[in-house]
Chains A and B, each alone.
Chain A
Amino acid sequence: MTAIVLIVAAFLLLLPFVYESRNLLILLTQVFVFSIFAMSYDLLLGFTGIVSFGHAMFFGIGAYSMGIFMKRFEPTLGYFLLAVLTTIVITGFVSFLVGLLTLRLKSHFYAMLTLSLSGLFLVLAEKWRTLTYGNDGFTFRVPELFIDRTNFYLLCMVVMVAVFLILKRFTNSPLGRVLQAIRENEQRTESLGFHVLHYKIAASVMSGVLAGIAGILYAISLRFVNTSVFAMDITLDALLMTIIGGVGTLVGAIIGAGLIEFAHHWLTELAKEHWIFERWIIFFGIIYILVVMFFPRGIVGTLSSISWKRKKQHSAKKEGKLAG
């Protein structure tokens, strides 16, 4: 398993130097960005059992912070870092507030409040025209370092790997273990003496900040930002990626992101052939419903449980032989 991961990593690392396709590079950059976003979502859904329907809000805050800083001030690395800092502060604060308000209640409330809050941010981005230029959005220049597509590709890849490792460490830490215990049985965790609310808020803040970082990278890759970053579609993307890839596994989120982004790309190409492919999202909606109903653990979860069963059968056979 590790060997496969290393080979894929080496392949992705060398790709921009060997194969010069701008489109593929941009597509892969998108995959990395959405992998970060999907992993941040998975921390909530897969590891803590919290459903958020407004994750686009944090993504959008990141994208707009970066866009506004680059547009209003000079596109230098200093302002880039300032934008990152602003994103972390705002997303941290908003996710903390949302968590504080709703996480002590039933799981529905978090889903509802995030859904409506992200609607509010969408309206805010439309109406606050002096800052956001309304619906049309605006283009901006990026720091020199990121103008080169290869550099930016490598940056996104490094950030994705870093986020993966951080989340791996985070979910295996004592805190992460408590989060998984909350997912399995909230009452029991509470009665074991853990203050469930604090842990849930910690997960919410972590997830919000990481989603904001994904938004930053998204804005830089497009060099353009408009209100669509707050749209429901972005949240739906994260949902599709985590659910289809496999909840509760970080690798699943990455695989899901790759799958959806590539499928999106190909199906949009196919739309020239037949108009039904313009509505490609409907196929994914149906697949999504089927996955939730029949394979609630997604691709990665289902595959790993199959291979686990096989191993078990295999070892059982061995034991049988020994006994016989």
Chain B
Amino acid sequence: MDLIMNLTLNGLATGMLIFLLAAGLTLIFGLMDVLNFAHGGLFAWGAYSGLWIYAKTDSFVIGIVGAILTGFLLGIIIERWIIKPVYGNHVQQILITLGLMLVLSEMLKVIWGPNQLTASPPDYLKGSWEVGGVIIIKYRIFIILVGFLIFAGVQFLLKKTKIGLVVRAGVMNKEMVQALGINIQKVFMFVFMIGAGMAALGGVLLGPYSGVIHAGMGMEFAILAFIVVVIGGMGNFKGSVLAAILVGLSGSFMAYYVPDLSLAVNMLLMAIVLIIRPQGLFGAKG
């Protein structure tokens, strides 16, 4: 019981981190038709900048805020100067975002050095609770809570606000939204910024969770996020959270029972989805 509980919580926490990365990817893809291969780079930038600020100020909250702001800033710069000039050309877009990934992760090594850095949660999130003989690590609960909060927040933004309405309309038909007199470019930038911020938040939360951060972790998580985006359906926000939890849980259970196969199982899941439901398990449109 203890074991299953722990594996479930572990899987949920990992799933939430993947969700933070995948949600931005899927929103950006749905609205702008851009598959951002640099998203993992934003994730790693969030981790490095956030933990650096955390180390300097000694406050984890300021670190998190700093990471999100870094994400916003990078998102604006990338959208404005690098992705905007190549809108409409799929091959160029894919190529340019991968180049960006390369530059972002190399920059990390230039600024913070090529070695991995260690990180630990702040005192109030350290340790664990014991509930009826089951040991629950505090930090995992924290990640799960933050993940659900972000999910609820973005869901509220999409469903209840004016800008959310425009975004949802844009996913369905960009030209029509533009014809109605809405500046879709501004919406693009907003969505890209939010997506980058979420990725950066995921990165800074991962730091104390895994204990170490390194420049290659962006790519590692990006691969999981791509799997999630395919399983959940490209452009499907709700699908991405369900798929992220699925991938997180299967990863955590497989890692315990058959460690060598944990990535393979997720890949297999993706291959099956690609064969039978290329629009994603939870997607409606193709």
Cβ-neighbour of B274 out of A49, A105, A119, A279 (below 8 A): A105
Task: Tell me if A116 and B267 are in contact (CB < 8 A).
Answer: yes
Cβ-neighbour of B96 out of A101, A124, A292 (below 8 A): A292
CB of B152 to closest CB in A, whole Å: 28
Task: Tell me if A107 and B91 are in contact (CB < 8 A).
Answer: yes
Task: Tell me if B95 and A243 are in contact (CB < 8 A).
Answer: yes
Task: Tell me if B270 and A293 are in contact (CB < 8 A).
Answer: no
Task: Tell me if B106 and A282 are in contact (CB < 8 A).
Answer: yes
Chain B residues closer than 8 Å to A89, beta-carbon distance: none
Asked if B136 is at the interface of the complex by the 8 Å CB criterion, the answer is no
CB of B111 to closest CB in A, whole Å: 10
Interface residue ranges of A187-214 to B (CB < 8 Å):
none
Asked if A51 is at the interface of the complex by the 8 Å CB criterion, the answer is yes
Interface residue ranges of B192-238 to A (CB < 8 Å):
219, 223, 226-227, 229-230, 234
CB of B236 to closest CB in A, whole Å: 15
Stretch of A3-11, A26-34, A221-229, A283-291 with 4 or more beta carbons under 8 angstroms from chain B: A283-291
Q: In the assembly, what is the distance between CA of A84 and CA of B86, in Å?
A: 41
Task: Tell me if A116 and B270 are in contact (CB < 8 A).
Answer: yes
Q: Decide if the interface of chain A is mainly helix, strand, loop or mixed.
A: helix
Task: Tell me if B94 and A289 are in contact (CB < 8 A).
Answer: no
Chain A residues closer than 8 Å to B90, beta-carbon distance: 106-108
Closest A residue by C-beta to B81: A293
Task: Tell me if A113 and B263 are in contact (CB < 8 A).
Answer: no
Q: How many residues on chain A are close to B (CB under 8 Å)?
A: 38
Cβ-neighbour of A117 out of B29, B94, B229, B267 (below 8 A): B267
Closest B residue by C-beta to A290: B99
Asked if A162 is at the interface of the complex by the 8 Å CB criterion, the answer is no
Q: In the assembly, what is the distance between CA of A158 and CA of B151, in Å?
A: 58
Cβ-neighbour of A289 out of B103, B229, B230 (below 8 A): B103
Asked if B143 is at the interface of the complex by the 8 Å CB criterion, the answer is no
Q: A51-B94, A112-B226 are in contact. List 15 more A-B contacts (CB 8 A).
A: A101-B275, A107-B90, A108-B94, A109-B274, A113-B270, A113-B274, A116-B270, A123-B264, A124-B264, A232-B219, A279-B106, A279-B110, A285-B102, A289-B103, A293-B96
